[in-house]
């Protein structure tokens, strides 16, 4: 079984947030703090280390006391570029990816992905909500780095076209569909706020 201490979480906060009017979603107020802090608090007990992938506001993200990585590719090339930054920096064998705009993080996210990856002997485990793949919720072995570099060098930017080239397995999270609620618009943001912020 994969040890939780051998997993590093990479929180993806590198997008342009067009549908939020360009506001940096990870730095939105949420509860009694900021959304990125909420995500860090939720995932930290499940892993050995945490990283943030961000292409702006590095000083603000750095206030959370974890390394902040910029994409190695210019001009906001998408989640695969964030994956590349994480795989290049990770010191553990496994990298868990999740977005900064998903305020729900179930307490066994890492364990379920790791169990499925281990059982299948695969290099990547990807969450599935029962209806569709949730490609940014994934666990990757660090040996996928060379394949990812090659794909990006060849111009690939679509996660769901890169995964099938790897040894991968999907993981059923249909029992917790709320795990994949995310904040894309101001209306989503208004609905997502905790009813009773922590004090």
Looking at per-residue pLDDT, the higher value among 149 and 76 belongs to 149
Instruction: Tell me 184's DSSP state.
Output: -
Distances, alpha carbon 69 to alpha carbons 29, 108, 148, 155, in Å: 22, 25, 17, 21
Rounded to the nearest integer, the mean pLDDT of the chain is 91
CA dist 120 and 19 (Å) reads 37
Convert the pLDDT of each residue in 56-101 to its tens digit. Answer: 899 999 999 999 998 777 665 688 999 999 999 999 999 999 999 9
Domain count, the chain: 1
Structural domain range at position 94 = 4-192
**Residue closest to 125 by CA, chosen among 115, 81, 12:** 115
Do the domain assignments include residue 105?
Answer: yes
| Cα–Cα distance measured from residue 99 to residue 69, given in angstroms and rounded to the nearest whole number | 14
Asked if residue 105 lies in contact with residue 192, where contact means CB atoms within 8 angstroms, the answer is: no
- Asked, for residue 199, whether it belongs to a domain, the answer is no
42-70 burial: b if 16+ Cβ within 10 Å, else e: bbeebbbbbbbbbbbeeeebeebebebbe
Q: How many Å apart are CA 51 and CA 113, to the nearest integer?
A: 18
Q: Minimum mean pLDDT among 17-21, 79-83, 149-153, 195-199: which range?
A: 195-199
Q: Is residue 198 assigned to a domain?
A: no
- Whether 106 contacts 151, CB under 8 Å: no
pLDDT, average across residues 7-16: 87
Structure tokens at 107: 């307490």
- In 3D, which of 93, 74, 97 has the Cα closest to residue 152? 74
State the pLDDT at residue 181. Answer: 93
Tell me, what's the pLDDT at 190? 86
Q: Which residue has the tokens 């702006």?
A: 56
Q: Is residue 35 part of a domain?
A: yes
30, part of any domain: yes
CATH number, domain of 173, equals 3.90.550.10
Q: Is the predicted pLDDT of residue 182 greater than 70, yes or no?
A: yes
């Amino acid at each position: 079984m994969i040890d939780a201490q051998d997993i590093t979480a990479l929180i993806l906060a590198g997008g342009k947030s067009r549908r939020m009017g360009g506001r940096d979603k990870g730095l939105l107020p949420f509860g009694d703090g900021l959304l990125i802090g909420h995500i860090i608090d939720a995932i930290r007990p499940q892993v050995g280390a945490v990283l943030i992938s961000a292409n702006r506001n590095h000083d603000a993200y750095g206030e959370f006391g974890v390394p902040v990585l910029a994409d190695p590719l210019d001009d906001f090339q998408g989640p695969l570029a964030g994956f590349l930054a994480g795989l290049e920096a990770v010191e553990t064998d496994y990298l868990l990816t999740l977005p900064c705009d998903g305020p729900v993080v179930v307490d066994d996210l890492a364990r379920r992905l790791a169990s499925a990856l281990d059982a299948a002997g695969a290099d990547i485990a990807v969450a599935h909500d029962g209806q569709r793949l949730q490609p940014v919720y994934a666990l990757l072995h660090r040996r996928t780095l060379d394949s990812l570099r090659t794909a990006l060098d060849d111009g690939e930017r679509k996660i769901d076209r890169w995964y099938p080239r790897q040894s991968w397995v999907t993981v059923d999270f249909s029992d917790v569909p709320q795990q994949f609620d995310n904040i894309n618009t101001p209306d989503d943001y208004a609905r997502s706020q905790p009813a009773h912020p922590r004090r």
